[in-house]
Amino acid sequence: MPRRPPASAPPEAATSAAPFVPPHPTLTTLREAAARCRGCHLWERATQTVFGEGGRGADLVFVGEQPGDREDLEGHPFVGPAGRLLESAIAEAGLDRRRVYLTNAVKHFKWEPRGKRRIHQKPDAAEVSACHPWLEAELAVIQPLAVVCLGATAAQALLGRGFKVTQHRGEVVPASFAPLVMGTVHPSSILRSTDDEARRTERARFVEDLRALKRALEGAVGGTRQGASAPPG
């Protein structure tokens, strides 16, 4: 069962996860260390840390905002409705799911109670900054060919606060942490569309963004890694 929320913590409680990041990390040691992270106050309300999942040899990293209610309870990223939409879009775009790593900019679920429900709250800039050492370490270990930032929080965490998904959606740009980086919408925004037709339209746009990334990957490496049949080691 989720923990009862304590008295709200002041914004200044957010500091940094950096002291918790192990030296010479691997994905295994990062995951173990993140389970004990107290780098900001969000751990107090969360059931558990939800770290990224996927292989060390992943070509492509998807970065979302933060775990949702289901992710917080189950301890795995992208297992709720938005995750199911993402999985289907990855398949439809022709990307190899076995070479994908899934993670979030923030590793704990931020929420507020509303009756018996836990309602998502957007993490603020201090909380995103406090958690950034985990994301930075994940990318340094994986060294992916491409990163997809799902939504504004993830995009601004990696590409700067001036990056606007509404203006630069679907563009593939280079960055220090990956040769190919794209910002697009978070699948949860598609689920919030006003009606079925809007959801179909937005989902189709999302799949086309992922197809554009696949073409960029194929152009960069001749399709030899993302199209490989062997799973990552």
Q: How many CB atoms lie within 10 A of CB 232?
A: 17
99 part of a folded domain = yes
List Cα–Cα distances, 226 to 118, 126, 169, 214, 218, in angstroms.
38, 35, 22, 8, 8
Domain count, the chain: 1
Of 129, 178, 92, residue with least CA distance to 15: 129
Q: Is the pTM of this model over 0.85?
A: yes
53 part of a folded domain = yes
Dig out the tokens for 87 from the structure.
């999985």
21 part of a folded domain = no
Q: How many CB atoms lie within 10 A of CB 167?
A: 9
Structural domain including 172 reads 38-220
Give me the torsion for CA of 26, 27, 28, 31, rounded to 10°. Answer: 120
65 part of a folded domain = yes
25 part of a folded domain = no
Identify the CATH number of the domain in which residue 182 sits.
3.40.470.10
pLDDT digits (tens, 9 = 90+) for 31-58: 999 999 999 999 999 999 999 999 888 9
Q: What is the 3-state secondary structure (H, E, C) of 136-198?
A: HHHHHHHCCCEEEEECHHHHHHHHCCCCCHHHHCCCEEEECCEEEEEEECCHHHHHCCCCHHH
28 part of a folded domain = no
30 part of a folded domain = no
Of 23, 17, 20, 62, residue with least CA distance to 141: 23
The pLDDT tens digits along the chain (233 residues) read 444 444 344 444 559 999 999 999 999 999 999 999 999 999 999 999 999 999 888 999 999 999 999 999 999 999 999 999 999 999 999 999 999 999 999 999 999 999 999 999 999 999 999 999 999 999 999 999 999 999 999 999 999 999 999 999 999 999 999 999 999 999 999 999 999 999 999 999 999 999 999 999 999 876 444 444 333 33
228 part of a folded domain = no
Give CA–CA dist 12/188, Å, rounded.
29
Phi, psi for 116 (deg, rounded to 5): -95, 0
